[in-house]
A = this chain, B = another copy of it.
């Protein structure tokens, strides 16, 4: 999908949030904000959110000299998620339908706010999110496709969420290629984040070649595109990957939360909906 005009103010909000991780000097933050604002008129009307996001984060890195503003936070989130691992494993294994529960856990990973401090609160948050129904739920198709697929291509989203992905991968019990970003962009997982979350134990980790906050095939390297085209089951996590891949053909399953009005409108679901599409 192409970016809606509503995405433009949102990119400034994201810039502000990221710049505040880099410095507390309001004048430096305004400089970064100004550079991004000045770049918006250059953006092509048909650009996708991932393409714009890539440009925005390139400007932030260039202006601040910080290549990976989320480096520290990603480590903290992964550590917090790893602490939840035994609890999540138990939730899945004690369920009457472990596969479905594992899918829901993977969606929880896309939703949960690791900013909450104590692991006690995080467990509460997991349970609260697990109680929400999936507004779109193509579980039957998922099951059927999984049964036949010899191998699964699993496209990651954020660091921390990676641990939740690992639990679904373990539950599917099939060979998995786990796809991360080539370079750091926002809080998206790169190889190191996936390895810290233990993904190397359960999947082959590859990069899509993308340094955008979403998977757009034209930005991916050839090797990934080949694997994508021939894949018999693809799982895509999160909104950024949905935005990039929603118009691609293939045995694609999207696991995400509709986190903004633009996506909710695009999918015709209430804001905040949990989705297996």
Contact = CB atoms under 8 A, between A and B. Distances in A.
Number of identical monomers bound together in the oligomeric complex: 2
Contacts of A29: 5
A27 interface: yes
A259 to B, nearest CB: 16
Interface in A86-128: none
Of A8, A26, A45, most buried by chain B (CB within 10 Å of CB) is A8
A16 B5 contact: yes
Contacts of A35: 41
Nearest to A19: B5
A10 interface: yes
A166 to B, nearest CB: 35
Interface residues on A, range: 20 to 34
Chain A binding site: helix, strand, loop or mixed by DSSP? helix
B27 A16 contact: no
A3 to B, nearest CB: 10
Contacts of A30: 5, 45
Contacts of A33: 5, 8, 40
Interface in A24-54: 26-27, 29-30, 33-35, 37-38, 40-41, 45
A40 B45 contact: no
17 contacts: A5-B16, A5-B26, A5-B29, A5-B30, A5-B33, A6-B13, A6-B16, A8-B16, A8-B33, A8-B37, A9-B9, A9-B10, A9-B12, A12-B12, A34-B40, A34-B41, A38-B40
Interface of A: 5-6, 8-10, 12-13, 16, 26-27, 29-30, 33-35, 37-38, 40-41, 45
